[in-house]
Structure 1
Amino acid sequence: MDPFAHSWAALRAAVDDLADADFEQPSGCTGWLVRDLVCHLVIDAQDVLITLVTPAGAEPTVNAATYWDLLPELPTGDDPLDALIPRLAAAYGEPRWLTFHLDDVGSAAGRAAELADPATRVATKDHVLTVGDYLSAYVLEWTLHHLDLIAHLPSAAQPPAETVAVARTLLEEIAGDRFPASLSDVDALLIGTGRRAPTTAETAELGDMAAELPLVLG
C-alpha cells in the first residue's frame, strides 16, 4: 500500500461523491463550509506539485514528524488566509467547477507523487526534507481533512482504515507519546488535534498526555 496515493485517492473520491447540497454543510474546520475545505484541497494539491518540482541541495532539516509546526491555539477562522478561502470557494459558483478543478490539479499531484524519487530532497516552508518524508506528512493532512469533510455528512465514505492507522502513528511521533489502545484510530486523530474534546473517561485514559493536547498542526 502507498499511503499517500491511497489516502489522496480516497479523499478525492469522497469529494466526487458529494451532492451539491453537501457543499453548503459545515465542515470539521472552524469557519469553513465543505465547499471551503474542497477549495483548500485544491491549494494543497498545488502545494504538492510546487514542492515536488522544487529540489534542494542541502541536507534535510526536518522529517515527516518535525515538518509540522505546533501552533499555540486552535484556529478560529479569522486568520487572513483562512478567511480568504471562503471567498475563493464562492467564486467558483457551482460545485461542479470546484470539483472539476480539484480533479484536474489533484490527479496531477497524484501522478507527480507516484513518479517522484522518495530519496530526492525538496524545499518547502523554509524546510528541506526528502520526498518520502514530505509525502508521509501529507498522509496525515489528507486523513484529517477527510475526517473534516465528512464531519457533518454521516453517510459519506470514511477514510481508509489503513491510512488512518498510518496517520495515527505519525501523530503519535509528533506527540512523542502513544494514545491509549482503547482509543480508535479515528478518535485518536480527532482528540489529538482538537477536532473534538475527550470525554471524562477518555481524559482519564489519556493520563499525563491529556495536558499536552490538542496538537494544533500548522
Structure 2
Amino acid sequence: MDLFSRSWTALLDAVAAVPDPDFALPSGCAGWLVRDLVCHLVIDAQDVLITLVTPAGTEPTVDAFSYWKPVVPPTGEDPLDALIPRLAAAYGEPELLRFHLDDVGRAAGRAAGLADPAARVSTQGEVLTVGDYLSAYVLEWTLHHLDLIAHLPAAAAPPAETLAAARAALETIAGGSFPSAFSDRDALLVGTGRRTPTDGERTALGGLAARLPLVLG
C-alpha cells in the first residue's frame, strides 16, 4: 500500500507540473495526447474510489498479478477509447483537467490509505483483497507515469522503488525475468510494447521475447 501511495502521488505531482502547452503533446499511449492520458487518469481514480466501496463476500478470484489479463492492443474503435479524447477536449483549459484529476486523485489516495488491506472488494467481475488491488495499480501508475513523460524530457520520472516494483510485477505476469542489463524503465517500455527492442535486446531476451509485448487490461 505504501508503494501505491508513492506511485500515485508521484504521478499526480508530475501531472500538476506539466505546463499548459505540453498538454497538447503526444503521450506514450499510442494515439493519445497528454491531455487524453490525464483524462484517462481521472477515470482510473474514479474506478479506485468505486472499487474501494464495493465490498465482496466471496473468496478472492485473482491476486495482484492475475488481476491483469493480456488484451488485444487498442484500435481506437472501442467506445471508451474513442470517448477519452472527446472528453479531454471538452475540458478546454488544461487547468480544469489538472484540477479535476488532483481533486479526485487525492481523494482516491486518501481512500486507499484508510482502507483495510485484508478487506475483499469486487471490480470487473473479479474479487480480490484491497491490498492486492492497490498493489496491482502500482504497475498501472508507473506505466502511465512513463507515458506522461514520454515526450517531456524535463519532467520528473517515477520513483526508483516503484519502477522496480512494477518491473517485478511485469516479470511475474510474463513468467520470466528481463536481462539484468535492462534498466527497470526499459524493461517496462519493451515489455509492454511501448518501445520496440533493438536486435541486441531481442537476442538478450531469449525465449521471453516470444511472449512480448504484454498489453494488459
Q: TM-score, normalised by structure 2?
A: 0.98
| AA of the residue aligned to 1:48 | V
| AA of the residue aligned to 1:147 | L
- Alpha-carbon distance in 1 for matches of 2:194, 2:83: 21
- Alpha-carbon distance in 2 for matches of 1:177, 1:117: 31
Q: Which residue of 1 aligns with 2:59?
A: 59
- Alpha-carbon distance in 2 for matches of 1:71, 1:184: 25
- Alpha-carbon displacement from aligned partner over 1:137-188 (angstroms, at most 9, x marks no partner): 0000000000000111111110101100000000111011111111000000
Q: Which residue of 1 aligns with 2:102?
A: 103
Q: Which residue of 2 aligns with 1:122?
A: 121
Q: Which residue of 2 aligns with 1:167?
A: 166
Residues 82-93 of structure 1 aligned to structure 2 (within 5 Å)? 82-93=81-92
* Structure 1: gaps of 5 or more residues: none
Q: Which residue of 1 aligns with 2:137?
A: 138
Q: What fraction of aligned residue pairs are identical, expressed as a percent?
A: 74
SS of equivalent residue, structure 1 residue 101: helix
The answer (yes or no) to whether the contact 1:168–1:188 under 8 Å persists in 2 is yes
Q: Which residue of 2 aligns with 1:158?
A: 157
Q: Which residue of 2 aligns with 1:183?
A: 182
* Structure 2: gaps of 5 or more residues: none
| AA of the residue aligned to 2:67 | Y
CA deviation after TM superposition for structure 1 residue 77, in Å = 2.8
- Alpha-carbon distance in 1 for matches of 2:198, 2:31: 24
SS of equivalent residue, structure 2 residue 176: coil
| AA of the residue aligned to 2:182 | L
| AA of the residue aligned to 2:64 | A
- Alpha-carbon distance in 2 for matches of 1:175, 1:212: 7
- Alpha-carbon displacement from aligned partner over 1:15-64 (angstroms, at most 9, x marks no partner): 00010011000001111100000000000000000000000000000001
Do residues 17 (structure 1) and 17 (structure 2) align?
yes
SS of equivalent residue, structure 2 residue 187: helix
Do residues 46 (structure 1) and 33 (structure 2) align?
no
CA deviation after TM superposition for structure 1 residue 80, in Å = 1.8
SS of equivalent residue, structure 1 residue 122: strand
Kindly tell me the number of residue pairs found equivalent between the two proteins: 217
- Alpha-carbon distance in 2 for matches of 1:214, 1:126: 25
Q: Which residue of 2 aligns with 1:34?
A: 34
